[in-house]
């Protein structure tokens, strides 16, 4: 059951001995009849996620099923372009940001997997300016609608909108390591998952003044160990139930 204003967790399944079963196969992941009349009050889905939990694939599948624009790599590029545009039109060049901020900012503003967007100019953009740029881009996305938005604190930027459904994706450490290895990483890179999440949390806490994740931001929290297609179906069905509850 999904309650408006409260996050619902789908917890990982465990054996009697307490060990995680790992990723479950997508046995019943059929495409739901999302909105029978073809219409929905929801125009935006935001997806915040732990590192290597499968958010990139899940977001892409959601956008394909709904026919909505995916703002993941595209969002990174839009932010990079906006930063360069802002700097080129600014009359005063901001002081160079400290190294710690620059490192955290690059981790935070990038998405789930892409490395193509260049954020070298963020060394001249302080936290307040970056937040203002992200808000400007978020406003553009909201005007267009029909969007799946991945990361970059999107739940916070779209928090007060009734047309937005907020999701947080997470997974067991074993599942995230399995995904890293499946994507060509070495098992020795396992510490990467915790390191990236610590840096995201540190950036949000220091520059936005809130915890990461802030559970009250989300309509649904899902353990992606249940399988990508099952996660997609759960999100769509949850949106439908919340839609019915609003009528």
Specify the 3-state DSSP secondary structure of 195. helix
Instruction: Kindly report the three-state secondary structure assignment for every residue of 114-132.
Output: CCCCCCHHHHHCCHHHHHH
Q: Is 1 within the bounds of a domain?
A: no
Q: Contact 21/220 with Cβ under 8 angstroms? A: no
Quote the number of domains for the chain.
1
190 pLDDT above the threshold of 70:
yes
When the pLDDT of each residue in the chain is averaged and rounded to a whole number, the result is: 75
Residue 202 belongs to domain spanning: 9-14+39-246
Checking phi first, is residue 117 left (phi over 0); if not, alpha (psi -120 to 50) or beta? beta
If one compares 170 and 191, the residue with the highest pLDDT of the two is 170
**Is residue 32 in a domain?**
no
Predicted pLDDT at 210:
80
Give residue-wise pLDDT tens across range 43-87.
Answer: 999 999 998 899 999 999 999 999 999 998 787 777 777 777 766
Distance spanning both ends of the chain, measured CA to CA = 16
Burial 21-37 (b: 16+ CB within 10 A, else e): eebeeeeebeeeebeee
Least confident span in 52-56, 92-96, 131-135 = 92-96
Does some domain include residue 21?
no
Instruction: Give me 26's structure tokens.
Output: 């997508």
DSSP run (H or E) holding 47: strand 44-49
In a domain, 194, yes or no: yes
Position 29 in a domain? no
CATH number for 116: 3.40.50.300
> Which of 8-17, 58-67, 147-156 has the least mean pLDDT?
8-17
Residue 137 lies in a domain: yes
Is 23 part of a structural domain of the chain? no
pLDDT, average across residues 211-235:
93
Q: Note whether residue 205 is domain-resident.
A: yes
Q: How far apart are CA 119 and CA 102, in angstroms?
A: 9
Mean pLDDT across the stretch 205-231?
89
């Amino acid at each position: 059951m999904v309650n408006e204003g409260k996050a619902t967790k789908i917890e990982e399944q465990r054996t009697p001995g307490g060990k995680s079963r790992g990723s479950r196969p997508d046995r019943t992941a059929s495409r739901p009849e999302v909105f029978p009349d073809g219409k929905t009050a929801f125009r935006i889905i935001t997806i915040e996620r732990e590192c290597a939990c499968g958010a990139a694939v899940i977001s892409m599948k959601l956008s394909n099923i709904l026919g909505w624009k995916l703002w993941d790599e595209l969002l990174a590029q839009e932010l990079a372009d906006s930063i360069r545009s802002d700097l080129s039109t600014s009359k005063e060049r901001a002081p160079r940001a400290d190294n710690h901020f620059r490192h955290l900012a690059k981790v935070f503003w990038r998405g789930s997997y892409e490395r193509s967007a260049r954020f070298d100019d963020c060394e001249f953009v302080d936290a307040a300016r970056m937040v203002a740029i992200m808000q400007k881009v978020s406003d553009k996305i909201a005007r267009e609608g029909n969007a799946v938005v991945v990361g970059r604190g999107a739940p916070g930027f779209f928090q007060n909108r009734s047309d937005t459904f907020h999701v947080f994706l997470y997974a067991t450490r074993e599942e995230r390591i399995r995904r890293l290895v499946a994507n060509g990483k070495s098992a020795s890179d396992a510490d990467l998952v915790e390191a990236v999440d610590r840096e995201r949390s540190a950036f949000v806490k220091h520059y936005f003044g809130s915890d990461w994740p802030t559970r009250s931001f989300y309509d649904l929290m899902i353990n992606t160990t249940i399988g990508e297609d099952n996660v997609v179906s759960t999100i769509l069905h949850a949106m439908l139930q919340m839609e019915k509850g609003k009528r």
